[in-house]
Amino acid sequence: MAKRVMTIMPTLVRFTEAPIAEHHKRKVAAYARVSTDSDEQFTSYEAQIDYYTQYIKARDDWEFVQVYTDEGITGTSTKHREGFKQMVADALEGKIDLIVTKSVSRFARNTVDSLTTIRQLKDKGVECFFEKENIWTFDGKGELLITIMSSLAQEESRSISENCTWGQRKRMADGRVSVPFDHFLGYERGENGELVINEEQAKTVRLIYDLFLQGLTPHTIANRLTAMGILTPRRKAKWNQGTVRSILTNEKYKGDALMQKCYTADFLTKKQVPNNGVLPQYYVEGDHEAIIPPETFELVQQEMLRRNNRDNRYSGVDIFASRIVCGECGSYYGAKVWHSNSKYRRIIYRCNHKYHDGKTCSTPNLTEDEIKLSFVAAVNRLIANKDEVIANLEGMCQTLFETETLESEREKLNTEMYLLQNMIQAAIAENAHVALEQNIYQKRFDELSGKYEDEKRQHDDIKQQIADKTSARTAASQFIGTLKKMDGLITEFDLSLWGSLLDHATVYSKEDMRYTFKDGTEIKL
């Protein structure tokens, strides 16, 4: 018997599994996206929505679902494209049979995202149509064409990103400063894009610096700002210590600007990473009007460093925390509650390590009133010698805190480091293009690198010396200013004096308490 082959014709559509002979309307949606918030792009955005609405409704065999949109969102990643993600979710749930979009680049500029999404939709019987390229994903050649077009779109995105980055870095090198004004507290955009002080917001910035210098921690300051109903830079009700700390350490509040603190490591993910020396940074002095005087800013940085260098953990829970030290073990005094659930309830202050590791410190407990009275007595002794203290401090400000010589050395080192950088880069470039003896090249490279590292260490040391002297001069000036305002002896505890005059108090006994003021003067009671 002769072999015979019969073809059984398909009865279902390959991807949708719908009967071939069955006529039904396809549920069609469109996707529109623009990458910026400009007026020109907004017009394009509106035009896309209108066009695809009419385009779909004009076909009798299509049923209009909706136009999904993303505005002001990049196409290199689907991560933050809420409209796109909702469209895909609806399609996977069977609400959409066909997705129409302008081009592959509108769909995604990331090849992996584009192909992954299309294959995911294809598995659920959902087709995509790219109008500009005339590509249907159910077509046999569709995936190949999409791969090619997505790769081209990705390369275009990379090129655009590089051009934008070059422009940004050129502006940085030219000293043109820009900030995200929408969530940058204290400044607003001027007529020419410059930073102009927003006086209402600047009050909050100054308050943060004042509270910190009074002894409060960023955490405590954040809680206080939240309680006061002051909005964060991003217009949120709740503050956190990270936001407060960023304000306290941002050099823009003293009128300067450090640019390129971070950089985009990958144009696809847009991930920002700290610039720890990978790319050049640009520091602009006196770029704009300062909200915080430079001297006060440096004083805050030194105070932060001082608190971080403490062997004991710094606390700003109350006005006495982290200011009173046990003379026996060196630990801070802290508040303790006695008889918390009775009418005899009271707060006392004692060494935090009084009963630590089986050892007992002999230093006494103190009440708040005892601390206040002893501080008043110490301040009055200081005032008694006010004229002498002021004269000594003013002499120190003119001699010990002078920084002109150090600043001249710093500038000289800056120049030398710049020259060495160029020599190192030139050596690397020559080795990359010319066949050099590697032993000779390595010796030269190590020599230049060693010189650069030595001068960098000198530069960093001098920079720290300048900062220390500037901070000390500021502290001394504030100390002098406070003393000059005091006409006579004080009769009661003053919180502002506690914050502005006192460095710390050391307790040995109730008969031996020593107050060390910010000028270095120690008064024993």
- For the stretch 335-363, pLDDT in tens is 888 766 667 677 888 888 888 777 788 89
User: What residues contact residue 34 under an 8 Å CB cut-off, 6+ apart?
Assistant: 41, 42, 44, 45, 48, 70, 71, 72
Instruction: Point out the least confidently predicted range of 175-179, 375-379, 407-411.
Output: 175-179
- Per-residue pLDDT at 40: 46
Q: Characterize the bridge pairing of strands 324-326 and 502-509.
A: parallel
Distance from C-alpha of 252 to C-alpha of 292, rounded to nearest angstrom: 9
Q: Please give the Cα distance from 459 to 453 (Å, whole number).
A: 10
What digits encode the pLDDT tens for the residues 385-395?
877 777 777 77
- % pLDDT > 90, the chain: 10
Long-range Cβ contact pairs of 423-426 (< 8 A, separation 24 or more): 423/448, 424/448, 424/449, 424/452
- The residue that leads in pLDDT, 448 or 499, is 448
Give dist(CA 57, CA 347) in Å, integer.
Answer: 76
> To 10 degrees, the CA torsion angle through 463, 250, 213, 387?
50
The structure tokens listed for 452 are: 């650069």
Nearest 5°: phi and psi at 224? -65, -45
Q: Is pLDDT at 514 greater than 90 in this prediction?
A: yes
CATH number for the region 26-160 comes to 3.40.50.1390
**pLDDT at residue 65 greater than cutoff 60:** yes
User: Helices 368-384 and 386-399 sit at what angle, rounded to 10 degrees?
Assistant: 80
pLDDT above 70 (res 112): no
pLDDT value, residue 507: 92
Confidence at 136, pLDDT banded by 50, 70, 90? confident
End-to-end CA distance of the chain, in Å? 124
Strand partners of residue 63: 27
Q: What is the pLDDT of residue 64?
A: 92
Which CATH fold would you assign to the domain 181-309? Hect, E3 ligase catalytic domain fold (3.90.1750)
Dihedral sign, CA of 53, 55, 57, 62?
A: negative
Q: What is the pLDDT of residues 398-441, one digit of tens each?
A: 677 778 888 889 889 888 888 888 888 888 887 777 777 888 88
Integer Cα distance of 447 and 442 in angstroms: 8
Spatial neighbors of 78 by CB under 8 A, at least 6 apart, are: 84, 85, 108, 110, 113, 117
Distance CA 30, CA 32 (A): 7
Over the range 330-346, which residues count as b (16 or more CB within 10 Å of their CB) and which as e? ebbbbeeeeeeeeeeee
Phi, then psi, of 29 in degrees rounded to 5: -125, 160
Q: For the chain, which residues make up each domain, given as ranges?
A: 26-160, 181-309, 321-363, 369-524
